[in-house]
Structure 1
């Protein structure tokens, strides 16, 4: 196993900060929480992270396959991925706070919530590109085995579940927080800094 404890901790911390940054998954989770009990909203969260798990495994498996073909593919993906993360971080840092008015949604069945959550992730191919760019900073995909990849994917999923459950479980506080421009701006800035740092890590150390 090449995925070290230090890398795992770094991956969890970076993922948690990015997961707390307001985005489509956060706003959709809070909207469902306004219409459903927490235990029902969990089905929506499971759908979201199922999509994240699939994207993470595709990203790592595809990256490892390309790297196995030729070293040049690793260098190309490394530079493109690092540059993409720095671009996302810079864009997040410079953009105004993304406050949105959160409205309740109609009550949905459990399995419909799972499907809705999954489609929210699956319908955003940028998530796959993000994983391809993000993961090389924390796991050496040139030497990583299936166990390393599964562990990294599971850590990402558990962290995303925790951050989304935070918003769902504290929906009243979270709703007020997400409607506060200063709070959203602070979260966005934190996420932007993390993206830039991870982008530099990909370029300089991976």
Structure 2
């Protein structure tokens, strides 16, 4: 249907890929553990929205520019890496009082900031765009009548599966953080560890090549 082949294989492969830890996992777990599961779900919404941008860009052929232009790839890559490092440094320099306890009431401004973090970390990661260009077409028939539509449908399925996993992470980390009643010292240590991981991920992205 719609020129899609081996749908179940695509779904299973997508689930395994989504479970693999990365910047999204770090952001969701850190937000849920320090600010509650609602903050984690807002991060999930931002991440999912960012992935949809890549899906439609790839379907329209925009992402192909990143695959063929070294300059475009490098610019987007460095912007994404800089943002990840910025988030990491911000967490490393955060005062203990900001993360001493789990915060259940988060302001609307904080929710907007969390959403944008999830959104921007995905949109500015060219590896996500190249992944869709390399992975999704393998499940679209060569003679498909509308390849762009098939691409969007597969991308939607992949993203929904990923968001379901992310929702599970957010709720689990949120309730675990609340139940454990982490001390201010441990919470500060966890936050700085997450910050260091973000910096490392930013450096890794900056050094990534186009392949």
TM-score normalized with structure 2 length: 0.58
Compare CA radii of gyration and give the structure with the larger one: 2
Where do residues 2-41 of structure 1 align in structure 2 (5 Å cutoff)? 8=17, 11-12=20-21, 14-22=23-31, 27-29=35-37
Partner of 1:164: 170
Where do residues 50-199 of structure 1 align in structure 2 (5 Å cutoff)? 50-62=45-57, 65-69=61-65, 71=69, 72-97=71-96, 98-99=98-99, 120=111, 124-134=115-125, 136=127, 140-145=131-136, 146=151, 149-150=155-156, 153-154=159-160, 156-170=162-176, 172-174=178-180, 176-177=181-182, 180-199=183-202
TM-score normalized with structure 1 length: 0.59
Contact 1:57/1:150 (CA < 8 Å) preserved in 2?
yes
Mark the CA change 1:53 to 1:68 in structure 2 (over 3 Å): closer, same or farther: same
How many residue pairs get aligned? The number is: 175
Mark the CA change 1:94 to 1:171 in structure 2 (over 3 Å): closer, same or farther: closer
Runs of 4+, deviation exceeding 6 Å = none
Q: Which runs of 5+ in 2 are unaligned?
A: 1-9, 137-150
